[in-house]
């Protein structure tokens, strides 16, 4: 069993590595322990729970929805959507799609933190847009303490009927010592950005230990 943090609970703050990067291995039920570990598909996805808090399906960023065949994965809350990186094996290629989940790594869904903006440095491995999300892999220094994450709207430029939204990643190191590298996965939903319209341009700046790095995303 694993516990992830839902969209609502992680819109604003990271509660540390264990709350969000709660990676787990869900070993397939098999009486043969020598069975080789399968080749996994790994995707960012939204995972949905039923009235009993069991994972029932997940939708990857490319829009595919898979029914969950595992019967042993339970979340904190019922009727909730969680954000995670899912390692899975697809069991059928026709509709409805279904899959066995083998790994889950929690991901933060960042929200507007302009009012409390801090730019404590963090390293970043990559950032990309897929589907309805901008995803990123961050590497912060810490000791498994509480760190706070979000995004800030730095400025908005109007270009004709379109807009260019300049964002930066909010990172509050808080009291977590700069000890060792910790990996965080995070997503921004462009539709959560104030006054964002489909077709607008987004630039995201990250204040790293080596200076500011920027990524730009256009329709």
- Within a domain: 203: yes
- Residue 65 sits in a domain whose CATH number is 2.40.50.500
The last residue of a domain, from among 106, 137, 157: 106
| Cα 77 from chain centre | 18
Instruction: Give the pLDDT confidence score for residue 100 in this predicted structure.
Output: 93
The total number of structural domains that make up the chain = 2
- Within a domain: 6: no
Domain enclosing residue 177, as ranges: 112-217
Instruction: Give the pLDDT confidence score for residue 92 in this predicted structure.
Output: 74
- Within a domain: 141: yes
Cα separation, 105 vs 86, whole angstroms: 7
Residue 106 three-state SS: strand
Cα separation, 149 vs 13, whole angstroms: 5
The last residue of a domain, from among 86, 106, 126: 106
**174 and 125 assigned to the same domain:** yes
The last residue of a domain, from among 57, 89, 106: 106
**142 and 117 assigned to the same domain:** yes
**125 and 200 assigned to the same domain:** yes
The set of long-range contacts for 59-63, using a CB threshold of 8 Å and a minimum separation of 24, is 60/86, 60/131, 61/130, 61/131, 61/132, 61/133, 61/135, 62/130, 62/131, 63/131
pLDDT in tens, the chain (219 residues): 334 555 654 433 333 333 333 333 343 344 445 566 688 999 999 999 999 888 999 999 999 999 999 888 777 788 999 999 999 999 877 788 999 999 999 999 999 999 999 999 999 999 999 999 999 999 999 998 899 999 999 999 998 889 999 999 999 999 999 999 999 999 999 999 999 999 999 999 999 999 999 999 997
**118 and 199 assigned to the same domain:** yes
Cα separation, 192 vs 48, whole angstroms: 20
């Amino acid at each position: 069993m694993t516990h992830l943090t839902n969209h609502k609970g992680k819109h604003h703050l990271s509660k540390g590595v264990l709350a969000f990067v709660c990676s787990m291995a869900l070993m397939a039920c098999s009486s043969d322990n020598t069975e080789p570990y399968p080749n996994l598909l790994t995707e960012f996805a939204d995972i949905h729970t039923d009235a009993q808090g069991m994972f029932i399906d997940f939708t990857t960023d490319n829009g595919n929805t898979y029914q969950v065949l595992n019967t042993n994965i339970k979340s904190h809350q019922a009727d909730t959507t969680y954000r995670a990186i899912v390692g899975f094996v697809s069991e059928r290629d026709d509709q409805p799609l279904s899959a066995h989940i083998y790994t889950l790594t929690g991901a933060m869904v960042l929200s507007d933190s302009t009012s409390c903006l801090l730019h404590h440095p963090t390293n970043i491995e990559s950032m990309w847009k897929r589907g309805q999300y901008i995803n990123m892999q961050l590497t912060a220094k810490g000791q498994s303490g509480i760190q706070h994450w979000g995004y800030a709207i730095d400025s908005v430029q109007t270009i004709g009927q379109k807009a260019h939204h300049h964002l930066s990643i909010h990172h509050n190191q808080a009291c977590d010592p700069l000890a060792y590298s910790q990996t965080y996965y995070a997503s921004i939903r462009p539709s959560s950005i104030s006054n964002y319209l489909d077709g607008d341009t987004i630039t995201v700046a990250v204040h790293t230990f080596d200076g500011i790095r920027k990524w730009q995303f256009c329709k």
